[in-house]
Structures are given as C-alpha cells and as structure tokens.
Amino acid sequence: MCGLNCIFLHSHHSPTISVSLSLCPSLFLSVVLPALVDRLGDGKDQVRENSQTVILRCMEQTASPMYVWEKLLPGFKHKNFRSREGICLCLSATLSTYGAQPLSLSKLVPHLCSLTGDQNPQ
C-alpha cells in the first residue's frame, strides 16, 4: 500500500503547501491532478490561481515537469472552458519557470492545436 501524507499550511498572505510522499508519487498525482484541473475551471480567480500554484509546486517537489504534464494532458479536453484555459496558462507558467528543455513539446503541441478549433472563444 502506498503511504501518502499531505499537509496544507495556510498563512495570512498566501497559501503554501508542503507535500510529503513516502512511497508513491504517481498515485498522489493521479488523485490530485484531476481535482486541480477541475479547480482551474472555478468561477473564483483565487481558486484558479491557487490550483495553478499547486500544480507548479508538484513539478518542483513531487515529479518532473513532463511527468506532471503527462497526467495533465486530459485537461486540454476538459468540458469546462476555464479549465482548458487554465491548462494553457499552466503550460505558459511551466515554460516560464523551466523552459522547453524538460518538456517533450511534441506530445503537447497536438493538444494545443486541437484548442484552435475550440467552440468557446474565451
């Protein structure tokens, strides 16, 4: 069984997250990332921003950026347009933070291209 221990610490100014994983980061990411993609579609800016922060923190503390992106790929086809937009903003933030080198852009570009035909222009 996978040992999983998550601690969420909140300060007055901004939330910080400390994630401690004893054995199974892939299970953690498989459970948490879909929920974060859903939160990228939330109606509140603060919730969307915090979700993006947690996703980027996962890349920093839990797994490589590309591994996290492999789990995020379904978000490009999410039913909520804000979630799809949030995924694109996360990709932009990932590229700003890590550059293109740790990402396999050939796996991401087809998903971006599919968004050019998105029926929701937002």
Mean pLDDT per 10-residue run, the chain (122 residues)? Answer: 37 44 70 94 96 94 92 94 95 95 91 83 60
Q: What pLDDT was estimated at residue 122?
A: 61
Q: Where are the domains of the chain?
A: 25-116
What whole-number distance in Å separates Cα of residue 86 and Cα of residue 20? 26
pTM here? 0.77
Q: What pLDDT was estimated at residue 121?
A: 60
List the beta strands (DSSP E) in 11-122: 15-21
Work out the angle at residue 109's Cα, subtended by the Cα atoms of residues 76 and 43, and round it to the nearest 5 degrees. Answer: 25
Share in percent of the chain as helix, strand, coil (round to 5): 60, 10, 30
- We find that the CATH architecture of domain 25-116 is Alpha Horseshoe (1.25)
Q: What pLDDT was estimated at residue 86?
A: 96
